[in-house]
Structure 1
Amino acid sequence: MGEETPLLRRRSTKSDSKISNFRLFLAVFSAVLGNFSFGYSLVYPSPVLPKLKSPDADPRLRMDTEAAAWFGSIYTLGAAAGGLGAMLLNDMVGRKMSIMMSAVPLTIGYMLLGGAVNLAMLYAGRFLTGVAGGMTAASIPVYISEISHKAVRGALGSCPQITAVFGALALYSLGLVVPWRWLAIAGEVPAVLMVVLLLFMPSSPRRLLSMGQEQRAEKALRWLRGSQYDVRSELNAIQHSINTQTKVTLAQLATPLFYRPIIISVVMRFLQQMTGITPILVYLEPIFAKSQVSLAPKYDAAIVGLVRLFSVIIAASLMDKVGRKALLYTSSMLMFLSTLTLTMISHNTSCPPGPAPPNLTALDYPTHSDIGNTLVHSPASLLPLISTVVFIFGYAMGWGPITWLLMSEVLPLVARGVASGLCVTVSWLTAFILTHAFTHLVDSYGLYVPYLCFMVVCVLCLLFNAVCIPETRKRSLEEIENYFRTGRTFTIRRAQSVQSH
């Protein structure tokens, strides 16, 4: 029993106590500004679609059901393309440079949205902002995991989700008072700030070591940890991990070290999207109008944005205390209960769709006066809002941030850049199909059928967490790799370490 020790236990607590996190936090903040832009751009259609579908809209920009479906979903096609691009860029130019390069399509996309005079410009703008979102989604979690140490990696790993929520909340809030074209112009500000700050941040020490640049890696790690921290033991541990890796071959992909973490990451991203989170966020205001909640839909959306922010902050504080799996269990149960409630509500209140007037869809808004005339302001009329809030709270507690974090933790270093791009691509292709189909499903069947599908997926999330997902709390990236290599333990035998040299 004494022959097994955790891989990094030899690092002294005295050295650990001298870590300064200030510069690490600054580097993380600089990177996750890209996630702020991602969250902002993802939900851009929520306040904009009602304006573009109203009879008062510019005839050149007015949207029917099909146009609205494309405007909402084409973003996810762009994100899939961005994820594919990140597969190459992560290893060609590095994680930090990939994040910075995402500002180019983002800025061009917002310029097209802000100055649009036809539907083609709106679609192109949404697609390009999606490309930027896919690039950051594939690069930022990997960058953060590789510059963080295990004491704070869980909390910092949830920062991309937190800032994405901040971005969505900013969009919902600005949408209450700012014209839709100016919403696009405002979206360019965080992208510019991100590029300026990242110019002064270090590259990933892990990637620098893998390229044989020991001096740059040591300098970067010392900058991140502070001058009082002895970086040698951490550099040695990273180097040991790199030395045990070779270029991935097809034969290696058939070994548990590679296929198990890749399958877990891909399936988690697939299930994350199949819960319905993307169409719910993209069409949030129209959904509330369809549900006939007694509050104005734009205020409902702002409430949901605040709840998302509150819940991801709770998740970040609990990530390294109660563990990933416990939060995933809680998340799955809350989402299941809320979608079950929404399914029953929508089933009881739905009616067969009748013929719709031109340019109107099932996701169109009734006016606020119509809502006031047709609804009784009873607690039951708030049940769809409450259930949606619980769903968002549950998602943001677990399947939101932890899916991103686990992807960056479990993927092998040698395949991390390519595999993370693959995960993001699968995720966004799933989101595109779901988001595009959502509008048509609601037109044909009401909200009942989509909610029923989301409820079934939440049960699958619960089972997948129970059977397939390992607990990575308080484990170094090297220990996690060893878990998949051996299939049974996070610790490395001394004999195994000796043989590897």
Structure 2
Amino acid sequence: MGIGKEVSSNNLVVEEFRTTGNKTPQYIAALSVCLGSVAAGTVLGWTSNIDLTKGILNNLEITTDQVNWIGSLVTLGGVFVCFPIGYFCDFVGRKLAMLSMIILFSIGWLLIIFASNVTMIYLGRFLTGIAGGAFCIAAPMYTSEIAEKEIRGTLGSYFQLLLTVGILVANVLGVYANIKTFCIVCFCIPLVFGIVFLFQPETPVYSLKKGNEEDARKAIRKLRGSGYDVDAELRELKVQIEAEKSLQISLKESLKKKATQKAFVISFGLMIFQQMSGINAVIFFTSTIFRQAGANFSFSPTIIVGIMQVIATFVSSTIVDKFGRKILLIASDSMMALSSVALGIYFTLQDRKILNEEQISVISFLPILSLCVFIVVFSLGYGPIPWMISSEVFPSEIKSVASSAAGTLNWFIAFIVTKYYQPLTVLIGTDITFYIFTLISISGTLFVYFIVPETKGKSLDEIQRELGGEKIESEGIDNKAFS
């Protein structure tokens, strides 16, 4: 551990400073902000284990088409917020922006709890979708700006991890609690986030950008410990901020560069393949898929799926810097394709009456096994890594706008899939729908192999140079993109 020394002009006492900070306050800050991710996860998982068509919510008569809208309006909220939240974070600060989302969460859940008509549920889901989508942008931004580089990757993975925890909470509550209790707990989670996160500092990066060096100093001291060399990090951050200012060019000018064009193809392609794989249809309509499959279990399969998703996301956070992004994406999408085709085959055998009921019961394990494998391998690769690569391939001068655009595209595709999944199964059959997901996953695997570069172990500058056409030594699978 390095030591710095400072001599006081008053008493000539030598004070020693650490050049690496205390990691515990940083872990606490990251976990506290990601409690908002738990709140977002409950929003995403709310429809997975309840059947709203049975009048369980305030005795409202809700049609299947209305259920589709209730599920998909969350993603429209995410589409709506991706661009505004970036500007809002720059205007009021990362901390206040996220605390303000508690208002939207609260209003949204109250509308659902006291809904007297379906329109109130629609509005509640849209508002909670805005709040949840805001955390997809703001929480990773906060953790990246408060963390030392040695643990930035780990802290950055907490958002996706606690998002899956929130989905699991929703799965459990959907089984063991009545609908009102379920909604009340979801209403309380953002409030708990607010109480815990209120005591965390604003990021030093934001404070410096606003010219408030004293607040930045206090934040670093709180996040690193009292014996840390605050001045050294302040100087480094100032240099970084000034460098970013000097690099500012318009999006139009940046798009003339070969590296930027490739970055958009890579990032947008990964977002499209991630959502078109059918993941949100699986998460939103897990119980519906099992009912269609005729699966009969003494336990809730959605809870098992949720637990495995949490475990897989945790494992992914520990191995992504060891194995690399590209190999995990290829392995993930390949297994997703196998899982989708297995589900398609099951529904073909059942729905096309190829097997009788007794024969189908023998393979009744196949739906839960396929969905568990699908969600586990998605969580290991195609879930978190597209967001990670998106943050790595865009040049710094347009990263904010480009990342928001990628996020908007992601949420929009998620809306299309969740809104039209069930109508598509009615129109062409559940089996054909999953065969389409299979073809998309195969295409996504080929896209990663031929187009996506390995970014493991490379600096952001090296990535830009490689996208620009320079040959960079890489680990893992060679990049065949744009040769």
Q: TM-score range by the shorter chain?
A: 0.7 to 0.9
| Count of residue correspondences | 457
Alignment of 1:178-193 (within 5 A): 178-193=177-192
Question: 8 Å contact 1:73–1:436 — kept in the other structure?
Answer: yes
| Map of 1:332 onto structure 2 | 333
Q: What is the Cα deviation at residue 143 of structure 1?
A: 1.9
1:264 aligned residue (263, 266, 283): 266
1:161 matched to 2:144? The reply is no
> Structure 1 residues 431 and 111 mapped into 2: Cα distance closer, same or farther (>3 Å)?
same
| Map of 1:37 onto structure 2 | 39
Question: 8 Å contact 2:160–2:313 — kept in the other structure?
Answer: yes
CA distance in structure 2 between the aligned counterparts of 1:488 and 1:409, rounded to whole angstroms: 18
Aligned-residue CA RMSD (Å): 3.0
CA distance in structure 2 between the aligned counterparts of 1:333 and 1:257, rounded to whole angstroms: 28
Question: 8 Å contact 1:141–1:408 — kept in the other structure?
Answer: no
SS in 1 for 2:311: helix
> Structure 1 residues 320 and 307 mapped into 2: Cα distance closer, same or farther (>3 Å)?
same
Structure 1 stretch 287-296 or stretch 380-389: which is displaced more? Answer: 287-296
Query: Aligned AA for 1:315?
Result: S
CA distance in structure 2 between the aligned counterparts of 1:478 and 1:207, rounded to whole angstroms: 23
> Structure 1 residues 465 and 155 mapped into 2: Cα distance closer, same or farther (>3 Å)?
farther
Question: 8 Å contact 2:425–2:433 — kept in the other structure?
Answer: yes
| Map of 2:454 onto structure 1 | 471
1:88 matched to 2:78? The reply is no
Query: Aligned AA for 1:81?
Result: F
CA distance in structure 1 between the aligned counterparts of 2:322 and 2:46, rounded to whole angstroms: 35
Question: 8 Å contact 1:82–1:131 — kept in the other structure?
Answer: yes
> Structure 1 residues 382 and 100 mapped into 2: Cα distance closer, same or farther (>3 Å)?
same
Q: What is the Cα deviation at residue 376 of structure 1?
A: 6.6
Q: What is the Cα deviation at residue 471 of structure 1?
A: 3.4
Q: What is the Cα deviation at residue 480 of structure 1?
A: 5.4
Question: 8 Å contact 1:151–1:474 — kept in the other structure?
Answer: no
Question: 8 Å contact 2:30–2:155 — kept in the other structure?
Answer: yes
CA distance in structure 1 between the aligned counterparts of 2:180 and 2:282, rounded to whole angstroms: 23
1:436 matched to 2:419? The reply is yes
| Map of 1:110 onto structure 2 | 109
Alignment of 1:143-292 (within 5 A): 143-231=142-230, 234-245=233-244, 246-249=247-250, 250-256=252-258, 258-292=260-294
SS in 2 for 1:244: helix
Structure 1 stretch 238-247 or stretch 475-484: which is displaced more? Answer: 475-484
Question: 8 Å contact 1:98–1:136 — kept in the other structure?
Answer: no
Q: Which runs of 5+ in 1 are unaligned?
A: 1-10, 353-372, 492-501
CA distance in structure 2 between the aligned counterparts of 1:275 and 1:332, rounded to whole angstroms: 9
| Map of 2:315 onto structure 1 | 314
CA distance in structure 2 between the aligned counterparts of 1:71 and 1:279, rounded to whole angstroms: 13
Higher relative contact order (CA 8 A, sep 6+): 1
> Structure 1 residues 197 and 476 mapped into 2: Cα distance closer, same or farther (>3 Å)?
farther
CA distance in structure 2 between the aligned counterparts of 1:454 and 1:185, rounded to whole angstroms: 35
1:388 aligned residue (371, 380, 387): 371
Seq. identity, %: 30
Structure 1 stretch 72-81 or stretch 420-429: which is displaced more? Answer: 420-429
Query: Aligned AA for 1:458?
Result: S
CA distance in structure 2 between the aligned counterparts of 1:146 and 1:483, rounded to whole angstroms: 26
| Map of 2:436 onto structure 1 | 453
CA distance in structure 2 between the aligned counterparts of 1:474 and 1:19, rounded to whole angstroms: 23
**Cα distance per residue 1:144-203 (max 9 Å; x no partner):** 222223322222222111111111111111112211122111112221122223222222
CA distance in structure 2 between the aligned counterparts of 1:119 and 1:436, rounded to whole angstroms: 16
| Map of 1:53 onto structure 2 | 53
CA distance in structure 1 between the aligned counterparts of 2:461 and 2:231, rounded to whole angstroms: 16
Query: Aligned AA for 1:443?
Result: V
Question: 8 Å contact 1:86–1:417 — kept in the other structure?
Answer: no
